[in-house]
């Protein structure tokens, strides 16, 4: 189940829409910024029903 969420890149600050796969409740992965192409560290928490409860984005150095 895919949800689309808006995130702000921690490097360049650009807002973009990312697709989140809600079939897993808690996940950590990297997503490349579409503007500056750097790896954003994504932490996503989804409910059992497939809603995004929490989404945080950090720079690679903070992660
Ligand atoms: Zn960026």
* Distance between Cα 44 and ligand 1 center (Å): 19
* Distance between Cα 8 and ligand 1 center (Å): 8
* The predicted structure's pLDDT at residue 4: 96
- Buried-state track 27-61, b at ≥16 Cβ within 10 A, e below 16: eeeebebeeeeeebbbebebeeeeeeeebebeeee
Where do we find the tokens 């995004």?
Answer: 52
* The predicted structure's pLDDT at residue 2: 93
Q: What pTM was computed for the model?
A: 0.86
* Distance between Cα 47 and ligand 1 center (Å): 28
Q: What is the pLDDT along the chain (63 residues), one digit of tens a residue?
A: 899 999 999 999 999 999 999 999 999 999 999 999 999 999 999 999 999 999 999 998 875
Which two structure tokens, joined as six digits, stand for 26? 């808690």
* Distance between Cα 25 and ligand 1 center (Å): 26
């Amino acid at each position: 189940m895919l949800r689309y969420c808006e995130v702000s890149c921690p490097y360049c600050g650009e807002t973009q829409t990312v697709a989140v796969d809600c079939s897993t409740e808690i996940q950590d992965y990297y997503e490349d910024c579409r503007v500056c192409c750097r790896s954003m560290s994504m932490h996503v928490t989804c409910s059992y029903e497939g809603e995004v409860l929490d989404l945080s984005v950090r720079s690679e150095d903070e992660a």
